[in-house]
Amino acid sequence: MRTIVISDCHGSPWLISNALNASGYQKGSDRLIFAGDFMDIGDSPEACWKLLEEEGAELLWGNHEVAIVLRQYVSPQDPYSWTLREDLIKKQKDFKIATSADNILITHAGLSEVWGAPIQANLQDLGLELTAQNFADVLNSNPLPDIWDNTSPLWYRPSKYIEPYPRFVQVCGHTPPEAIPTQIDYYSVDPYSRKGFGKNRYRYAIIEYGKVEIFDSNQKV
């Protein structure tokens, strides 16, 4: 089974449909993961959410969705997003902070060393394997207020100052790919690009046989 990962459509449903069409996504045969941030910026967050649900996507929290739930301000933030707050609260169980595929960790923003090291110590104390899914399970046990943190999987941005947790290859959104150091095993599917954001834009990852391949409408990575 292929796992297709997309993220950060930010109110523009065509970013979802473009990626699904380009990847040849087959509902029921492929696994689809949306790594957060379907609201703000564009004017159709509700359409994005509906499309993702119709296509059977597994939904991960993005910082923009959690901001609405926790009544926090993020920039940019569309006033219309606040009209979806009650629905987000009702459907909280449909969202996760993290998941995995082929021992590859998937979150909205990535797992930093700051967050990963304590989880590793906790799992070792419990005698549990250091698998990506066990890390995801620990992350998913956190209440949303506890992950509203600059180094958390909602907000983290990889840098030489705060390095990503090194045990796993990671697939994330949140940070534009041009801003990520090339030497780390950290793949961004955020479709933002300095080269343009036209109606044909897409960016997605395919995870298969333990490997990650990125596909981008501007280039094949």
Where helices occur in the chain by DSSP H, the ranges are: 13-23, 45-54, 63-70, 85-90, 113-125, 132-140
Rounded to an integer, what distance in angstroms lies between the CA atom of residue 157 and that of residue 109?
Answer: 7
Indicate whether 85 pLDDT > 70: yes
CB 191 within 8 A of CB 15: yes
Map tokens 């009702």 to a residue: 90
pLDDT-derived band at 41, boundaries 50, 70, 90:
confident
Report the pLDDT value the prediction gives residue 21, as an integer from 0 to 100.
Answer: 97
Instruction: List b or e across 2-36, with b for residues whose CB sees 16 or more CB atoms inside 10 angstroms.
Output: bbbbbbbbbbbbbbbbbbbebbebeeeebbbbbbb
Report the pLDDT value the prediction gives residue 183, as an integer from 0 to 100.
Answer: 60
Rounded to an integer, what distance in angstroms lies between the CA atom of residue 31 and that of residue 82?
Answer: 30
Backbone torsions φ then ψ of 85, nearest 5 degrees: -60, -45
Q: Which DSSP helix (H) or strand (E) runs through 195?
A: none
Indicate whether 196 pLDDT > 70: no
Tell me the mean pLDDT in the region 100-124: 97
Indicate whether 197 pLDDT > 90: no
Rounded to an integer, what distance in angstroms lies between the CA atom of residue 73 and that of residue 67?
Answer: 6
**Mean pLDDT of the residues in the chain:** 92
Report the pLDDT value the prediction gives residue 29, as an integer from 0 to 100.
Answer: 97
* Bridge partner residues of 219 (DSSP): none
Please name the amino acid found at residue 40.
D
CB 121 within 8 A of CB 135: no
Indicate whether 114 pLDDT > 70: yes
Of 9-18, 85-94, 142-151, 179-188, the range with the lowest mean pLDDT is: 179-188
Domains in the chain, ordered, with CATH?
A: 3-216 (3.60.21.10)
Dump pLDDT digits (tens) for 136-160.
999 999 999 999 999 999 999 987 7
Report the pLDDT value the prediction gives residue 24, as an integer from 0 to 100.
Answer: 97
Of 39-48, 75-84, 156-165, the range with the lowest mean pLDDT is: 156-165
Indicate whether 199 pLDDT > 60: yes
Indicate whether 189 pLDDT > 80: yes
Report the pLDDT value the prediction gives residue 194, as an integer from 0 to 100.
Answer: 54
pLDDT-derived band at 13, boundaries 50, 70, 90:
very high
Q: How far apart are the first and last CA of the chain?
A: 21
Indicate whether 177 pLDDT > 90: no
